[in-house]
Amino acid sequence: MATLRLGPLLRYADESSATVWVEASRPCTAEARCADGSGGEARTFQVAGHHYALIPVTGLTPGTTTPYEVFLDGVRVWPLPDTGSSRFPPSVIRTAADGAAEGKADALADGFRVAFGSCRWAAPPANDKDPVGADALDTLAARIAADPTGERPDVLLLLGDQVYADEVSDATRRWLGARRDLSEPPGAEVADYEEYTHLYYESWLDPEVRWLLSTVPTCMIFDDHDVIDDWNTSASWLADMRGTPWWRERLLSGLMSYWVHQHLGNLTPAELATDPLYTAVRESPDGTDVLRAFAARADADPASVRWSYRRDFGRVRLLIVDTRAARVLDEDSRAMLDPGEAAWVREQALDAPGSYDHLLIGTSLPWLLPHLVHDAEAWDEALCRGERGPRWARFGEKLRRAADLEHWAAFTTSFTDLAELIAEAGSGPDAPATVLVLSGDVHHAYAAEPTWPGTEGPDARVLQLTCSPVHNAIPLYIKVGFRLGWSGLGRAVGRRFARHGRVPRPPVKWRRTGGPWFGNMLMTLTLSGRSARLRLDRVREVKGGKARLETVTESQVSG
For the stretch 345-365, pLDDT in tens is 999 999 999 999 999 999 999
Long-range contacts of 272-277 (CB under 8 A, 24+ apart): 272/19, 272/54, 272/56
Residue 102 has pLDDT above 60, yes or no: no
Lowest mean pLDDT among 51-65, 73-87, 424-438: 73-87
C-alpha separations of 368 from 160, 373, 456 in Å: 17, 10, 19
| 213 pLDDT more than 90 | yes
In 3D space, the residue among 261, 156, 277 whose CA is nearest the CA of residue 205 turns out to be 261
3-state secondary structure (DSSP) of residue 416 = helix
How distant, in Å, are the alpha carbons of 55, 233, 301 from that of 241?
37, 11, 16
Residue 485, pLDDT score: 94
Residue 84 has pLDDT above 60, yes or no: no
Q: Global pTM?
A: 0.96
Using 50, 70 and 90 to split pLDDT, how confident is the model at 103?
low
Among 363, 345, 352, which residue's Cα sits nearest to residue 465? 363
pLDDT(555) > 60: yes
Q: What is the mean pLDDT of residues 505-523?
A: 97
Note the pLDDT of residue 544.
66
- Residues 478-495, mean pLDDT to the nearest whole number: 94
Q: Please tell me the distance from the alpha carbon of residue 135 to that of residue 203, in angstroms, as a whole number.
A: 11
Q: What is the pLDDT of residues 172-209, one digit of tens each?
A: 999 999 999 999 999 999 999 999 999 999 999 999 99
**What whole-number distance in Å separates Cα of residue 283 and Cα of residue 466?**
41
Q: What pLDDT score was predicted for residue 86? A: 67
Query: How far apart, in whole angstroms, are the C-alpha atoms of residue 123 and residue 223?
Result: 18
Report yes or no: 484 and 372 within 8 Å, Cβ to Cβ.
yes
Give tens-digit pLDDT for 220-236.
999 999 999 999 999 99
Confidence (pLDDT) at 101: 53
Question: Which run of H or E residues covers position 488?
Answer: helix 488-500
**What percent of the chain shows pLDDT beyond 90?**
91
Cβ contacts of 305 within 8 Å, gap of 6 or more: 294, 297, 298, 325
Could you give the CA distance from residue 418 to residue 338 in angstroms, rounded to a whole number? Answer: 13
The secondary element (H helix, E strand) that includes residue 517 is strand 509-517
Q: What would the 3-class secondary structure string for 206-240 be? A: CHHHHHHHHHCCEEECCCHHHCCCCCCCCHHHHHH
pLDDT grade, residue 431 (50/70/90)? very high
Between CA 271 and CA 282, with CA 277 as vertex, the angle to 5 degrees is 95
Longest dimension (CA), the chain: 70
Burial tier of 332 (Cβ tally within 10 Å: 0-12, 13-18, 19+): exposed
Mean pLDDT of the chain, nearest integer: 95
Per-residue pLDDT at 491: 95
Model confidence over 396-420: pLDDT tens digits? 999 999 999 999 999 999 999 999 9
**Arithmetic mean of pLDDT, 317-340:** 97
Phi, psi torsion values for 225, nearest 5 degrees: -65, -20
pLDDT for 542 beyond 80: no
Decide the pairing of beta strands 358-363 and 316-321: parallel
Q: Which helix (H) or strand (E) holds 532?
A: strand 531-541
Q: Tell me what pLDDT residue 164 has.
A: 97
Q: Chain centroid to CA 379: how far? A: 28
142-159 tens-digit pLDDT: 999 999 999 999 999 999
Q: Report DSSP state, residue 25.
A: S
Which positions ≥6 away from 553 have C-beta within 8 Å?
514, 517, 534, 535, 536
Q: What CA–CA distance (Å, rounded) separates 533 from 553?
A: 11
In this predicted structure, the answer to whether residue 107 has a pLDDT above a threshold of 50 is no
Task: For strands 358-363 and 445-451, give the pairing.
Answer: unpaired
Q: In 250-365, at which residue ranges do the beta strands (DSSP E only) sit?
A: 309-313, 316-321, 358-363
pLDDT band at 105 (very low <50, low <70, confident <90, very high): very low
What is d(CA 163, CA 258) in angstroms, rounded to the nearest whole number? 10
State the Cα–Cα distance between residues 237 and 246, nearest whole angstrom: 15
